[in-house]
């Protein structure tokens, strides 16, 4: 019997005994599973829990998501990053309302046709919600497979992912949803990323070729990452009385449609920053205070030069909101919120 053929009998009892208590595992509602899987992309489980509960409380079903306004949606997503995920959730919900009468589709081909849903998410929803024998192969599963097979092929190659997906599909049991989640659980915990594998606790230890050959720590193999492009940015945190200047980003591109503090490319020297304020029609009331921060995106690193200054009057074509309004209404992505979170320190210096 092949290694993959033994996985259901090894993993299912282990999963039922040791699975984590996660809020999206309370039922098999495809809406809940879908939202959680989108949130979990590029994001840690612990970080997602509260976001998920708040999101479902505010938008309990497909209809509510389809009709939410963009500012509220972005505010619910604030801090999770990769905001295109939220935009695609809404687009998909609208398609479900128009094409499927508001009922989440049950067929794999229909699910994968929705905006923002690829093979992995479609497999997760269809297997967990409907017990369809469709694998959900992500980085966790690829890591497990590379170690089980002692395979040093680069796991980010499409051909490797396709091979593993095909082999897993052939061994899916009737408890398809539990099997999918067992693979996820194993790859997120015992055989987890960025730490030493806990082979003694692994239900697959006896059949794992990497464990038998002593190569666990060298797997999986990945292709070298490209160096991220670096961009300098000067960010103005402008305060007038109890109000602060913010503006909307363009509707397309990086962080599309979100709020930001006014900013310009490059790192401005103090006099250049003052000249820019003059161009905005603003007169400083205090000296400039500066702070350096960095924010890392998938392919870009923003090297951010923050300039704090109180001004004498409201001007410049920005939206001027109180701190309470910004906290309640404006979705500030993490790149800009890091300046907002330290404003009290600057005010009290």
Q: DSSP of 105-128, one letter per residue?
A: --SHHHHHTSTT--HHHHHHHHHH
Q: Are 223 and 152 in contact (CB under 8 A)?
A: no
- Between the CA of residue 279 and those of 265, 282, 315, 316, 318, what are the distances in Å? 15, 7, 11, 8, 13
C-alpha angle 91-95-97 in degrees, rounded to nearest 5: 115
Nearest alpha carbon to residue 341 among 273, 272, 293: 293
Beta-bridged to residue 20, according to DSSP, are none
Tokens of 183: 């693979």
- Between the CA of residue 251 and those of 96, 248, 256, 262, 294, what are the distances in Å? 23, 8, 5, 16, 23
Catalytic residue status for 37:
yes
Write down how long the chain is: 349
Q: Are 114 and 120 in contact (CB under 8 A)?
A: no
What is the rounded CA–CA span in Å between residue 221 and residue 155? 6
| Catalytic residue from among 37, 107, 119, 272 | 37
Tokens of 247: 């503006």
Active site residues: 37
């Amino acid at each position: 019997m092949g290694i993959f053929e033994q996985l259901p009998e090894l993993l299912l009892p282990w999963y039922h005994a040791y699975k984590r208590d996660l809020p999206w595992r309370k039922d098999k509602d495809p809406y809940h599973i879908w939202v959680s899987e989108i949130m979990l992309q590029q994001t840690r489980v612990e970080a997602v829990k509260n976001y998920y509960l708040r999101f479902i409380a505010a938008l309990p079903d497909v209809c509510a998501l389809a009709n939410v306004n963009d500012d509220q949606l972005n505010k619910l997503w604030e801090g999770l990053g990769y905001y295109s995920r939220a935009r695609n959730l809404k687009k998909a919900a609208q398609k479900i309302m128009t094409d499927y009468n508001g009922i989440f589709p049950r067929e794999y081909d229909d699910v994968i046709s929705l905006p923002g849903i690829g093979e992995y998410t479609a497999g997760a929803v269809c297997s967990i919600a409907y017990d369809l024998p469709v694998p959900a192969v992500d980085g966790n599963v690829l890591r497990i497979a590379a170690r089980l097979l002692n395979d040093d092929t680069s796991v980010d190659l499409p051909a490797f992912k396709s091979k593993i997906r095909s082999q897993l599909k052939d061994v899916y049991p009737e408890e398809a949803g539990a099997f999918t989640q067992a693979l996820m659980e194993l790859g997120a915990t015992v055989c987890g990323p960025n730490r030493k594998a806990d082979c003694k606790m692994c239900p697959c230890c006896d059949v794992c070729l990497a464990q038998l050959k002593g190569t666990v720590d060298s797997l999986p193999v990945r292709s070298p990452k490209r160096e991220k492009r670096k961009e300098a940015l000067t960010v103005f945190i402008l305060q007038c009385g109890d109000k602060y200047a913010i503006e909307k980003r363009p509707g397309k591109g990086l962080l599309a449609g979100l709020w930001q503090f006014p900013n310009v490319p490059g790192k401005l020297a103090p006099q250049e920053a003052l000249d820019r304020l003059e161009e905005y029609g603003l007169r400083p009331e205090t000296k400039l205070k500066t702070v350096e921060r960095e924010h890392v995106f998938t392919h870009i690193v923003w090297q951010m030069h923050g300039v704090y200054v109180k001004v004498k009057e409201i001007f410049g074509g920005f939206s001027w909101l109180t701190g309470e309004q910004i906290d309640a209404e404006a979705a500030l992505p993490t790149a800009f919120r890091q300046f907002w979170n330290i404003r009290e320190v600057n005010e009290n210096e």
